[in-house]
């Protein structure tokens, strides 16, 4: 494990604990304690994931998130904040955050969410060798998804997805032709916080199907009764 993580946190004790725990897990870590330093480190380094506090001196975490997403749609960002309202969480996710942790949190939960976010961004080697990846596009029939620009196109038509819908479709495309159980999907797309709550998978599959399959010549997302779902072209 050599993934690099940027910690953006102005509370020195929290930042130090995160640094120790992440380095113990094998990650390479750098820290920034204000918004300006965070942007400088982000622009001059290569990061696999960013842990971003919302309340920062100088430039807020939300503004940093906006600037990151303006140039980079792929790097996972997990927000750290003392705010706990549903509105704050939805706002952060809608701006492109991959996940959201409310302080205080358990380090085991944060580590699980980091692992899930890092897994989500990887394309399996089998997908590459099977011709399911073309440059930065993931392909399935007339459907293609670009993780860098976060574009989704089917039969030449652009499809608008929410961040979570995009992550779900991306995961299905990366593992297409594989039958994926609900627990497996929850762990990869939603992370630790949703363990045991697989109903959320069914809800979001319905959302994505409505946008990606409805009105097109063939269905790509299929239900495997009693198991889960699979994305594949019709035979």
Q: Which of 156, 152, 175, 177 is nearest to 165 (CA)?
A: 152
What is the CATH number for 160?
A: 1.10.10.10
Tally Cβ neighbours within 10 Å of residue 199: 11
Per-residue confidence band for 235, with pLDDT thresholds at 50, 70 and 90: low
Give me the helices (H) in the chain, please: 12-24, 35-44, 61-71, 86-94, 107-120, 125-129, 163-174, 182-185, 199-212
Kindly state whether residues 182 and 211 are assigned to the same domain: yes
- pLDDT at 50 exceeding the cut of 90: yes
In angstroms, the Cα distances linking 95 to 32, 61, 65, 147, 201 are: 21, 11, 7, 16, 21
Q: Which of 65, 13, 57 is nearest to 36 (CA)?
A: 57
Question: Rounded to whole angstroms, how far apart are CA atoms 86 and 89?
Answer: 5
Kindly state whether residues 91 and 34 are assigned to the same domain: yes
Q: Which of 122, 128, 138, 117 is nearest to 187 (CA)?
A: 117
> Of 76, 96, 120, which one is at a domain's C-terminal end?
120
- pLDDT at 86 exceeding the cut of 80: no
> Of 94, 120, 146, which one is at a domain's C-terminal end?
120
Kindly state whether residues 72 and 95 are assigned to the same domain: yes
Q: Is 168 left (phi over 0), alpha (psi -120 to 50) or beta?
A: alpha
Share of the chain above pLDDT 90, in %: 48
Omega within 30 of 0 (cis) for the link into 104 = yes
> Of 51, 86, 120, which one is at a domain's C-terminal end?
120
Kindly state whether residues 22 and 107 are assigned to the same domain: yes
**For the residues of 98-130, what is the DSSP string, one character each?**
SEEEESS--HHHHHHHHHHHHHHTPPPHHHHHT
Count how many domains the chain has: 2
Q: Give the domain range for residue 55.
A: 4-120
Q: Is 221 helix (H, G, I), strand (E, B) or coil?
A: strand
pLDDT reported for residue 122: 61
pTM of the predicted protein model? 0.60
Kindly state whether residues 147 and 69 are assigned to the same domain: no
pLDDT, tens digit (0-9, with 9 covering 90-100), for 155-182: 999 999 998 899 999 999 989 999 999 9
Structure tokens at 210: 């409505």
- pLDDT at 123 exceeding the cut of 80: no
What is the CATH number for 55?
A: 3.40.50.2300
- pLDDT at 52 exceeding the cut of 80: yes
């Amino acid at each position: 494990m050599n993934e690099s993580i940027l910690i953006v946190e102005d509370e020195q004790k929290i930042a130090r604990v995160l640094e120790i725990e992440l380095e113990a897990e094998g990650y390479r870590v750098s820290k920034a304690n204000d918004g300006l330093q965070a942007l400088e480190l982000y622009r001059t380094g290569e990061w696999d994931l960013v842990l971003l506090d919302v309340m920062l001196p100088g430039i807020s975490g939300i503004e940093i998130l906006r600037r990151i997403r303006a140039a980079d749609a792929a790097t996972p960002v997990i927000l750290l904040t003392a705010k706990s309202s549903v509105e704050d969480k939805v706002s952060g996710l809608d701006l492109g955050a991959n996940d959201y942790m409310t302080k205080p949190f358990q380090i085991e939960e944060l580590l699980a969410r980091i692992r899930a976010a890092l897994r989500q961004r990887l394309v399996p080697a089998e997908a590459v060798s099977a011709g399911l990846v073309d440059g930065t596009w993931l392909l399935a029939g007339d459907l293609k998804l670009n993780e860098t620009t976060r574009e989704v196109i089917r039969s030449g038509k652009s499809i608008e997805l929410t961040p979570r819908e995009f992550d779900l479709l991306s995961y299905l495309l990366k593992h297409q032709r594989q039958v994926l159980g609900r627990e497996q999907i929850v762990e990869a797309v939603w992370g630790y916080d949703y363990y045991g709550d697989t109903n959320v998978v069914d809800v979001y599959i319905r959302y994505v199907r409505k946008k990606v399959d409805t009105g097109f010549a063939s269905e790509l997302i299929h239900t495997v009764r009693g198991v889960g779902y699979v994305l594949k072209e019709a035979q």
